[in-house]
Amino acid sequence: MALAEKNFKQHIAENVYPGRGIVLGRNEENSWIVIYWIMGRSSNSRNRIFTHENGILSTEAADPKLLEDPSLIIYNVMRDVDRRIVVSNGSHTDTICDGLKKGESFYTSLHSEKHEPDAPNYTTRISGIIEQSDSSMALSRISKSDFSAEHSAHFYYRYTDIPAGYGYCVTTYMGDGNPLPAFAGYPILLPLEGDAEIIADNYWLKLNPDNRISLFVRELNHSGEDGLKIINRFQMTKQ
């Protein structure tokens, strides 16, 4: 679809700073695809890698000695609860998973969450879930209210019958700036072509090379087999 390619060019390839991003969808083989990446402008934001252990994807400091403030940059990125895959750009990954375990929905588990308290950017909290039981997926963004930095606006988007080869994306920002402009509007339709490794390489190469930090792609096929590709710009410093 021409629209997906156009969006990919404008919002990913030609965008200096979309910030953190989530893409959920299906590739041409109709496998579920989850993408998450982080970008950074400050030394603290750039001092990160992805690690995957015991089924949980997390951010960690590439060099722990240089870590300044871990509060908004170190968190669990992706976890599974039963046949649900949860991904987010912060500590609300755990909030959602804890809620699901208590019988709450993806939506109600986020009711207590707000945008990040990082004035003047007030970064949007983004998250997503794949519900394998009914072949649906949902994305959310929690942004600063138009009226007050003390309040947030919550947006949810649910999708069914996702066509093969496409996904929907939310990012934290629309582009670079001071302050950074928050993501606005509906999730963006993007192409998902190939397996986890091909998709990871394609997205990584298109993200701005000065600001990209880490990216992962998870592929889950019909038989429940997982494929995972992680790309880290930096390596863990041995202590």
Predicted confidence (pLDDT) per residue in 14-29, tens digit: 999 999 999 999 999 9
Lookup result for tokens 């019958």: 161
Query: pLDDT per residue over 213-235, tens digit each?
Result: 999 999 998 777 789 999 999 98
Q: What is the pLDDT of residue 72?
A: 87
Low-confidence ranges of the chain (pLDDT < 50): none
For residue 149, give the amino acid letter: A
Contact 60, 52 (CB under 8 A): no
Residue from 79, 124, 76, 20 nearest 218 by CA: 79
**Rounded to an integer, what distance in angstroms lies between the CA atom of residue 24 and that of residue 202?**
16
Task: Render the burial of 107-138: b for 16+ CB within 10 Å, e for the rest.
Answer: eebbeebbbbeeeebbbbbbbbbbbeeeeebb
End-to-end Cα separation, the chain, in angstroms: 48
Distance in angstroms (rounded) separating the CA atoms of residues 41 and 107: 31
pLDDT digits (tens, 9 = 90+) for 25-46: 999 999 999 999 999 999 989 9
Query: What per-residue confidence (pLDDT) applies to 39?
Result: 98
Burial degree of 171 (CB within 10 A; 0-12, 13-18, 19+): buried
d(CA 64, CA 85): 29
pLDDT score recorded for residue 237: 67
Which domains does the chain carry? 2-232 (3.60.20.20)
Q: Which two tokens stand for residue 60?
A: 């960690």
Task: Give me 133's structure tokens.
Answer: 């039981």
Range 204-208, long-range pairs (CB < 8 A, 24+ positions): 204/37, 204/231, 206/8, 206/12, 206/13, 207/12, 207/18, 207/37, 207/39, 208/15, 208/16, 208/17, 208/39
| CA atoms of 132 and 46, how far apart (whole Å) | 34
Q: What confidence score (pLDDT) does residue 238 get?
A: 61
Contact of 61 with 48, CB cutoff 8 Å: yes
Rounded to two decimals, the pTM is: 0.96
Helical ranges in the chain per DSSP H: 2-7, 43-46, 92-101, 106-109, 196-206
